[in-house]
Structure 1
Amino acid sequence: MATILRNVNAAKNIRDLLKKSIEHCTRSERGLKRWQVDTLRVMYWRAQSYDAIPHPERHRREWQNWNYKSELFAFSQRLSEKFSEEMLRVCFTDKSYVEKEDEQRKELGMPEIELRTENNSELAAIGTNKLTPFIKSYLRYFLKNVPEECISAVHNYLMSDTVLADIASKIGCTQLILCNAINPSDEVKAQVLRALIGALMKEKGEKHTEKFIIDFILTYINDQDIMEVWNLPQAEIALSNVLKNNGITEYEPRLLRESGRNTIYACFMVGMYVDKKLIGFGSGETVSIAREMAAYDALRRMFKLTPASTLFKFGKDAYNIDFGSSSQEYSLLNEWKLLDLDRKHQLKSIS
């Protein structure tokens, strides 16, 4: 009797196992229903056949679900700026788009009627005229111990097409631009961002435009190494000239430590000394490179461009600052001198 009961229980266990295996086979690991299998299979092979055919690249505005007016409104809301629709259309219309429209009208034999479509050239010029003096005044306010070449280098970096195009892409300008190409170039995207600043100058005024520049343009230099942006060439020669301007005719580079000489892993550390005080140090795979990096480090400390010294303000902390008081240009590098009050602190030993 016990044998019969064991056989019955074993049969029940086998039936349960078969039932679970059948249920597992009728659905995928992602929990899809059985009736979805055929649909997904058809969709997969349709996609394969569609991708096998080369299709021309199309602009987003060529699709049926594209509503340019709604996109302009959404763009304005994302930035929390109440642009007028007409002004935004002008900002996003490149000169090449107007020229392309004229050529297409001529090819179609349409009468030569001058189009009333405006391009963003005028607004971009207004934006540039506002950007240049304000960015320089902002930098001079926070970088009080640098020569004018440093201010110009950081300004040129922020005003470059690469940086402005990157900012324009991140705030969603790319697909809204009307130009003669499907993918706008960096120059076109930078022109659009300048035009947006020019539109703010016209509609909102100077103070509101400055807040926009602080929030979207100047924040790009946050946490960046100003010395790398400046990319000062021949740092040791520059250090020698700066020291001569301050009445110091000699400096002494010393080899502090080294490892792996005559190997591919060689490393040398050189320190720059003035009056037996270490003012900067650097390392490199050769002694000459280490000397250059030591001079680079000494200049960084003199110009107060260390991460702890370079503290910019953004947002509400910077809105009420009078940057107009910092419009006067600094001395050039060949004439730059340490401030009398900071002379002892800037040449103190860092050992």
Structure 2
Amino acid sequence: MGGPTLRELKKRREIVGPEPERPRSTYLEWNYEAEIYAFAKRLGEEFDRKLLKQALIQREYANMQEFKAQEKGEPIPDNIHNFEFVQEGDKIITEYIIQEYNKSYPDDVVNAVKQYLSSDDMLSHVAKHIGLKDIILTNEFPVANETLSNTFKAVVAALNHSKGIERAQLFVKDFVISQMNGKDVYEIWDPKDPYGYLTKLLSDRGVKRGGA
């Protein structure tokens, strides 16, 4: 396609305005198997393909596909979805964050960092960054942050089953704990009563206040 034609198409596109965002699955050239393959390659991870695909299927989506098949009298598909993977991935993520930060910080600080890093806002941000939004199978549009977050958790679980816990933990380190780069944990941890917390901490460590 020549330069003048491209310029004319661009000019028309600017007049009409940007297209509304829509799922990539609605595009004719969309190839799900190719998207799955490309996703794993971008991340440099070797997933069991079947497990990765399961991690991307929301329970509501699977239920809807089953219902549609029943209505049409077609063979009912296996109701495979990521619900259990979500629970497992959440546990892997939170336990690894706690494990890493327990090495250097007290429980209150560790808990604050865990809540920050494992929040739906944070994990959905990571999910978008690695391209999960384009390959999630869901009835939602636009995809909710909670769904993005849950799918990321399910992917962590799929990696655990594919390559083992150490690889899954490294994945969490690279994509979740790395979000702390350039941040001070004490920017995140904000005790409501700093003086009371310090007094309790000193007392727990057997340190007496002056004049006591």
TM-score of the aligned structures, taking structure 1 as reference length: 0.53
The structure where helix makes up a greater share of residues is: 2
Kindly provide the amino acid, as one letter, of the partner of residue 191 in structure 2: L
1:243 and 1:249 in contact (8 A); partners too: no
- Root-mean-square deviation (CA), in Å? 2.8
Tell me whether 1:172 sits opposite 2:153 in the alignment.
no
* Other-structure match for 2:197: 238
Tell me whether 1:126 sits opposite 2:88 in the alignment.
yes
List gaps (5 residues or longer) in structure 2: none
The alpha-carbon deviation at position 213 of structure 1 amounts to: 1.8
Match of 2:64 among 87, 94, 100: 100
| Larger RCO, structures 1/2 (Cα 8 Å, 6+ apart) | 2
Q: 1:230 to 1:175 in 2, by over 3 A?
A: same
For 1:78 and 1:99, the matched residues in 2 are separated by 30
Tell me whether 1:82 sits opposite 2:41 in the alignment.
no
Tell me whether 1:138 sits opposite 2:100 in the alignment.
yes
For 2:96 and 2:37, the matched residues in 1 are separated by 28
For 1:39 and 1:171, the matched residues in 2 are separated by 30
Aligned pairs, how many?
208
Q: Deviation string for 1:60-87 (max 9, x for gaps)? A: 1111111111111111111111113222
Match of 1:150 among 109, 118, 124: 109
* Other-structure match for 2:119: 160
Q: 1:130 to 1:242 in 2, by over 3 A?
A: closer
Tell me whether 1:68 sits opposite 2:35 in the alignment.
no
The structure where strand makes up a greater share of residues is: 1
The alpha-carbon deviation at position 46 of structure 1 amounts to: 7.0
Q: Secondary structure at the match of 2:142?
A: coil
Kindly provide the amino acid, as one letter, of the partner of residue 44 in structure 1: K
Tell me whether 1:213 sits opposite 2:172 in the alignment.
yes
Q: Secondary structure at the match of 1:141?
A: coil
User: Which structure 2 residues correspond to residues 1-351 of structure 1 after superposition, within 5 A?
Assistant: 36=4, 40=7, 44-45=11-12, 48=15, 50-51=16-17, 58-105=22-69, 109-111=71-73, 114-143=76-105, 146=106, 148-245=107-204, 246-249=207-210
The alpha-carbon deviation at position 89 of structure 1 amounts to: 1.2
The alpha-carbon deviation at position 45 of structure 1 amounts to: 4.7
Q: Secondary structure at the match of 2:161?
A: helix
Kindly provide the amino acid, as one letter, of the partner of residue 157 in structure 1: Y
Kindly provide the amino acid, as one letter, of the partner of residue 54 in structure 2: V
Kindly provide the amino acid, as one letter, of the partner of residue 125 in structure 2: D
Kindly provide the amino acid, as one letter, of the partner of residue 248 in structure 1: R
Pair member with larger Rg: 1
List gaps (5 residues or longer) in structure 1: 1-34, 251-351
Identity, % of aligned pairs? 25
2:69 and 2:77 in contact (8 A); partners too: no
